[in-house]
Amino acid sequence: MSEPLELTKPKRSFSRLTVIGTVLPAWLAVFWSIWDGVDMARAIAPTMVILIASVIGVYQGVGHFDLRSQLSAGARPSPAPRAPRSEAG
């Protein structure tokens, strides 16, 4: 019988940079629209907040499905490292 696979933590550096590259300009647009005036903030801020929430939600959702696919393939989490016990007394 084969040993169970261990979970691998994907780097996802490209998707992380893509999220940062999308969310940072969106926040800048929110702050700029607030600074520019109430009318601009009413037009821009809600759309950008929805964009920010959507991008972060998709990023976390993909990570969730990635973890589920590894678990369904038989991967098991590696044991967490234990902290050394302190000397009491």
* 3-class SS of residue 3: coil
Dihedral angle sign, alpha carbons of residues 30, 35, 38, 43: negative
pLDDT by residue for the chain (89 residues), tens digit each?
466 677 777 777 888 999 999 999 999 999 999 999 999 999 999 999 999 999 999 999 988 888 888 888 887 777 777 777 777 65
Each domain of the chain, given as residue ranges in start order, spans 16-72
Helices 38-72 and 13-36, interaxial angle, to 10°? 160
pTM equals 0.70
- Residue 9 tokens read as 């933590």
Q: Count the helix, strand and coil residues of the chain and give each as a percent rounded to the nearest 5.
A: 65, 0, 30
| Distance between CA atoms of residues 41 and 34, nearest Å | 5
